[in-house]
Amino acid sequence: MLVTAALAANVTIVQSVFHGFSPQGVTGLVIIEESHFSIHTWPEYGYTSVDFYTCGDGMPEKALTVIKAGLHANRTGSVFVGRGQALNNLAMSIRYHRKCLVE
């Protein structure tokens, strides 16, 4: 599904890797020339986190449509974070989430 989403976003896939957990759930990464897409699922909580990091002419909104339909999600939220807006050549951006559903 994530590969299909990347294709819908009109980005160039380089490689993908997915890891399934027992008894359920998956973590996956699709490396694209424009950056990467990732997915982490917690079916036992009915929760999925998807990150689309892109630059150029990719259309992550189209990828979101594919993921939403594939997961049969009845509720979604999106956050757009601009990046690469540095004033000089010595910039770095780090964003992270500390709360984890799995204990």
Known catalytic residue at 19: no
> One of 55, 72, 97, 100 is an active-site residue; which one?
55
Query: Catalytic residue among 19, 40, 49, 72, which?
Result: 40
Q: Please identify which of the residues 19, 22, 35, 36 carries the catalytic annotation.
A: 35
Taking CA atoms, 39 is separated from 6, 27, 89, in Å, by 12, 6, 30
Q: Is 49 a catalytic residue?
A: no
**Active-site residue flag, 78:** no
Bridge partners of 30? 16, 37
The residues assigned a catalytic role are 35, 40, 55
